[in-house]
Amino acid sequence: MMHSVRNTLLGAGLALTLPAAAGAQTTLTLESAMARARTDTPGARAMDASVGEAAARVDQARAGYLPRVDVSESVQRGNQPVFVFSSLLSQRRFTAANFDVDRLNEPAPVTNVRSALSARQRVFDAGATRLTVRAAELQRDLTAVTQAQGAQDRAFDAARAFVRVLQLEAVDRASGAAVAAAESDLERTRRRRDVGLVTDADVLAMEVHQADVQQRQIAVSGDLAVARMELAEAAGLPLDQPVVLARPAMSASPSDAAALTRDAIEARPERQEAALQGRVAENGRRLAQAAFWPRVGVEAVWEFNGSSWASQRSGWIAGATVELNIFNGFADRGRINEARQAESRAAAQRQQVERRIEVEIRGAIARVNAARAREAAGRAALMQARESQRIVRDRYEAGLATVTDVLRASEAVFDADARSTSAEMDVILETVALSRAAGRL
């Protein structure tokens, strides 16, 4: 019965690992995974398009510097008195007979075909157009900063997925070693039972232990298959493409938090965003103040009117307009106050961001150092657990230890291996997190 269960579990484990072994494999480093996440994913392409949209809005704002030229064609027919009167005048067909009161009140229907070319140009607007362009440029820069921050987030997600796969691969190897050790212990126990040194209870305990470690290996294999797909998604790779991960080298532990903080304040997108928000608020205040200044514009229209296109007569009109806002219910003053409050808020947020960056840098350094200490302790604990397992096996072979001691030693090795691997992966991930906090990701 135990052999049947074991064969079933092994078959399930093989089924989970077969997709990962199919096809050509690609070697993936931590750096290349993060680089792909920054540029070769749907999220990256979406952010590129957002920056393009913001740049297009700058072009729209710059249109305010140029004149607006329109061409229009219209055909109208009716007997509305004012329409008939003005149409006849525009067509230059008005005669003295049209002053007849009856014809003025009850005119015959008239058709007016109008073609017009109009041009408008703003001459002075107290810098409103320039400030509008500047606002669009600042929004474009903010979008670019958001893109950079999103790229860092995607790179960190890829690094986390990369480390997750590395960790599960290590656990999978440890599970395989545990299965091999359990099979060896089971065979040893059966030989000792056959010569009468132990009972069937010891054999059954070993068989249960072997089935347990096989179940663990199958569960880890399933988690590993899922983690590989998540890494492929984060790095913009085909979900079914097998990859071989290159373990990254351990970098030196940083110590100069002040230098890292200075660099981070200059490089972090959040700091750049806070500075840009301050400029946006300042630009908004200036734009609100421009509402108190007059606006001057010129316009000209050259038009053709007639009862048909063939009979059109030309005419033109040109002029200038001056607009001055005398009173607007204090709305303009309210907008200025709003912009001033936005400036104060942006300045406070900038200080807050700089303090948060320093906290993140110092915290990241502490976590890297702690992870390195855990990794060193984990390696030592694993070596001790393996040595203890060797001693217990020898004592069991000599009849000085029980099967419970053997099982306990095997569990200790597996747990120590898992903790050592977890600490080693934490060192890698916390180092990446430190690079992110320093604005270097």
Q: Are 154 and 36 in contact (CB under 8 A)?
A: no
Phi and psi (nearest 5°) for 218? -65, -40
Q: Are 161 and 216 in contact (CB under 8 A)?
A: no
Angle value at C-alpha 137, between 135 and 139, nearest 5 degrees: 70
Phi and psi (nearest 5°) for 320? -135, 150
Residue 332: the pLDDT is 84
Residue 110: the pLDDT is 95
pLDDT tens track for 176-225: 888 888 898 899 889 888 988 888 998 999 899 899 999 989 999 999 99
CA distance 419 to 425: 10
Q: What tokens does 96 get?
A: 């003295």
Structural domains in the chain? Answer: 2-437 (1.20.1600.10)
Residue 418: the pLDDT is 86
pLDDT tens track for 299-313: 999 999 999 999 999
Bridge partners of residue 110, in order along the sequence: 78
Task: Match 């269960």 to its residue by tokens.
Answer: 5
- Residues of the chain predicted below pLDDT 70: 1-24, 250-255
Pairing of the two strands 295-306 and 313-323: antiparallel
Residue 119 corresponds to which amino acid?
A
Residue 19: the pLDDT is 44
Residue 60: the pLDDT is 94
Residues of the chain by 3-state class (helix, strand, coil), percent to 5: 70, 10, 15
CA distance 137 to 177: 60
CA gyration radius for the chain?
39
Can you give the pTM of this predicted structure?
Answer: 0.76
